[in-house]
Amino acid sequence: MDALNIHEVLQHLPHRYPFLMIDRVTEFVEGERIQALKNVTYNEPIFTGHFPHHPIFPGVLILEAMAQAAAILAFRSVGESPSEETLYLFVGIDKARFKRPVAPGDQMIFDARIVRSRRGIWQFDAECTVDGKTACSASIMITSSEISS
């Protein structure tokens, strides 16, 4: 099992502040699964508007974070990194469920497992937990895409 620090995460995702949602990969099993985390702080720019007096991390960004963890799993499993010509993009999100809000001070743990990879489309079962309790779960599909100039 491999772990990745933030510098290695940056090598596997094209995202940067404020849209980078993965702080560290704690477990990685090539071709199988990944576990990653994000520390949620009050300093996140999203909390100035969502919601100023009761900050809650948006569900859509939790889904994005799960997809970023899945993308790292896909990239590392095939020995690739994002480039200026290729990205991994969302193809679909199914069965998304939100079980509890995420707030500043929480640490989100993302688990993603490869369900299948067929014709360049990857499907993952993904879950986000906080303090061992499910905050969100979904089936996520991504694919690589060539960027045209």
Asked, as a colleague might, if the bond just before 14 is cis with ω within 30 of 0, I would say: no
In this structure, are residues 112 and 73 in contact, taking their beta carbons and an 8 Å threshold? yes
In this structure, are residues 113 and 35 in contact, taking their beta carbons and an 8 Å threshold? no
- In sequence order, the 6+-apart residues with CB closer than 8 A to the CB of 101 are 56, 57, 135
Rg (the chain; Cα; Å): 15
- What is the largest distance, in Å, between two alpha-carbon atoms of the chain? 46
Q: Of the listed 12, 50, 53, 54, which one is catalytic?
A: 50
CA pair distance 99, 128, nearest whole angstrom: 10
To the query of whether residue 50 is one of the catalytic residues in this protein, the response is: yes
In this structure, are residues 14 and 87 in contact, taking their beta carbons and an 8 Å threshold? yes
Active-site positions read: 50
